Amino acid sequence: LMLSLSFLVTFAACDAPPVPLDDLVIEKTFVPEKCVRAVKVGDFVRYHYIGMFPDGKKFDSSYDRGSTYNVFVGKKQLIEGMDRALVGMCINERRLIKIPPELAYGKQGYGEIIPPDSILHFDVLLLDVWNPEDGVQINTYYRPSVCSRKVEVSDFVRYHYNGTLLDGTLFDSSHTRMRTYDTYVGIGWLIAGMDQGLLGMCVGERRIITMPPSLGYGENGDGSDIPGQASLVFDVVLLDLHNPKDGITVTNQAIPEPCSRKTVAGDFVRYHYNGSLLDGTFFDSSYSRNRTYDTYVGRGYVIAGMDEALIGVCVGERRSITIPPPTWAMEKREQVGTKIPGSAVLVFDIHIIDFHNPSDKTKVNVTFKPQVCEKLTKKGDFVKYHYNASLMDGTSIDSTYNYGKTYNIVLGANQVVPGMEDGLLDMCVGEKRHIVIPPHLGYGERGVTGEVPGSAVLVFDIELIDMEEGLPEGYMFIWNDEVSPDLFREMDKNTDGQVEASEFTDYIMQQVNDGKGRLAPGFDPYRIIDNMFSNQDRNGDGKITEEEFKLKTDEAADHDEL
């Protein structure tokens, strides 16, 4: 039993520091996985501690005072044992430091708090370390593959950040406010370390910016969140940058060949777009609405930057437009809701679908004309033609070839849009034309539901297949021969002194069939005859008397019609 007890005492004594303590003892009670920085002689440190005697009785604590102990290491501002024990410590490392009297307060002690020849124990947690020679430290951990521009002095930037102390304590974050921090760089609007740390960043870049207190909030700190003499760490992602002197920039142009016409101020443009912020955040698209954005350009109907960028474009052209905030209408921000932050640079990828000017007329280009061209189309003629119809961007609308039959109309009878009327005049049979019709001579602002968008320019490739000469303007029937002097009696088949509708219709149709008269081509002949009868039937009783007929004849004495 005595032998076993002796062994246990010996074992315990080997594991404990010698008493009295004759040298510094350091026990590392917690070591972080990653040691970002270790204390060196000459560094300034901020740490918490609990001071105890070997029996565990506490004689002092920084926690009780609610503030760290801040001091230079190795400059005899501490007791020798602490000066030596802090060297090599990492941020967030915890040590139990046992200091013999000769490295502490020795035989004199310290007032009534620490008796002479006291061994002191300190439970120390290191929170911060920096050196007076430190500058801003930058660690870029993500950089986009394309970096067309970097932050320079006097640029305006928008960025998100998480701000922490060196031990990882969060003191601020723009993410929690769900709003970027927006500021000028290099003109003193930021703490010096951030002013330096943002320079050279690309949009989309992420970096960690570490700065000593001399480039942060210095000896006084900032309120209750940032202690005095604290190093600061900012995890930053840059979302946007521009300079007040910036204008719009146009990139990634794809210009079709040929480009016969470019937009000018006053033109009406239809275009598609995708709108995003400089970091790629999407905010709007005309494609999602399946409808172009239609507007006049150079007249202030769109934001200033877009107004400028839409001048000088071709139909079918694609381009990326970068618009800094000074050139998009600030007063219209409230109209775009929360999708577009204030002071944001806007990027539009646009595709020009078509454009026209309100002064435009139908444009006719003859692509083929037969050698023999004896008759030209005019108002009143009945024409038959084939067409392929499309929009300016080539989108097919319709084609008569799909139906295997011509489209037949009477020119001047408002049976087609005015632009097509213009395009079909003075045309030979067999002639082919390329016709461009502006919307005010086409289907206007409304278009045709499901077929022709509103305000669309129309393109027709037409071929005149056949034509039948019409009657003089204002006539629906004419005589080819001399008019019979007994016209009324010839119509009055039953000799009852009045002409009924059936008698009138039979007579006119007989004259047409015999080649003695002509009805206007392209119309329903019976509707024409009904109208003729109604004009003669002055009292509307459904019969024409000789008196009514004569009266109408007298009124029309200068004409070859009834």
Question: What residues are labeled active site?
Answer: 49, 59-60, 79, 105, 122
DSSP collapsed to 3 states, 284-329: EECHHHCCCEEEECCCCCCCHHHHHHCCCCCCCCEEEEEECHHHCC
388 forms bridges with which residues in the sheet?
399, 461
| Residue pointed to by tokens 């723009």 | 174
H helical segments located in 126-268: 174-177, 192-197
Map tokens 């070839």 to a residue.
401
Tell me which amino acid residue 346 is.
Answer: L
Q: How many CB atoms lie within 10 A of CB 348?
A: 23
Q: Whole-angstrom Cα distance, residue 105 to residue 81?
A: 10
* Contact in structure between 411 and 421 (CB atoms under 8 Å): yes
Q: Which of 502, 476, 499 is nearest to 487 (CA)?
A: 499
Rounded to an integer, what distance in angstroms lies between the CA atom of residue 81 and that of residue 324? 60
CA atoms within 13 A on the CB side of 17: 18
Residue in 322, 346, 342, 318 with CA at minimum distance from that of residue 332 = 342
Q: How many CB atoms lie within 10 A of CB 240?
A: 23
Q: For 93-106, b where at least 16 C-beta lie within 10 A, e where not — what string?
A: bbbbbbbbbebbbe
In this structure, the number of other CB atoms found within 10 A of the CB of residue 64 comes to: 9
Tokens of 156: 């305006």
